[in-house]
Structure 1
Amino acid sequence: MFPGMRGGFDQRKMDQLMKQMGIDIEELEDVEEVVIKTAEKDLVFKKADVTVMDAKGQKTYQVIGNPEEIKKEITPDEEDVKFVMEQTNCNEEEAIEALKEYEGDIAEAIISLEE
């Protein structure tokens, strides 16, 4: 807890204290979309609330909202496709589809094609 803040939250005092510490906080206006991309999926925040905190030149972004999770489609490696084809005697299209279905897991793709 910060000194002098017993019994309640005083936004003005908090702003003064943050300014003394070299911290500036600003709300980004009219944010339409925030996208976080990972190797496996994208997180898409529509109409997110975004706050930027600048502490002595180091910026931190806070995103508030409910993301839509979009899984990325796997593009199987040529070597993996050939290996699955050799192991199961299937055609290229079947090998690619199995690898996509099992997110690139070669063993699972082979097992599914042998059933």
Structure 2
Amino acid sequence: MAGYRGGFGGGFGGGNQMQQLMKQAQKMQEQMAKAQEELEEAEIVGESGGGLVQVVVNGKKAVQSVTIKPEAVDPDDIEMLEDLIMAALNNAYDEAEELYNEKMGQFGGAGGLF
């Protein structure tokens, strides 16, 4: 009777190779989870109007806070305030996108795999 050497039938390779692949996948999953946690904890500030409007988002673009200084509010020009808020949000989102690409870019297209 021949001895069992492990591995899979069909010439797939040894069980040791499969173990290595599983370890690599697990390590990548752990690294991705850590990067996603760092993104959630990050605080990115976007400003407009020289600091009149400030928006804080996390690395996943979730708004954490909005601060509007009183001098930014002109009841006769609400459109300006709307523009300031939009500009601050876009600024924060751009920076959050850069952070996301920095943290998750190393995983290629696998960002949603795990």
- The TM tier, using the shorter chain, reads under 0.3
Normalized per residue, which structure has more strand? Answer: 1
Larger radius of gyration: 1
The one of the two structures with greater contact order (alpha-carbon pairs below 8 A, sep at least 6) is: 2
TM superposition score normalised by structure 2: 0.26
TM superposition score normalised by structure 1: 0.26
Normalized per residue, which structure has more helix? Answer: 2
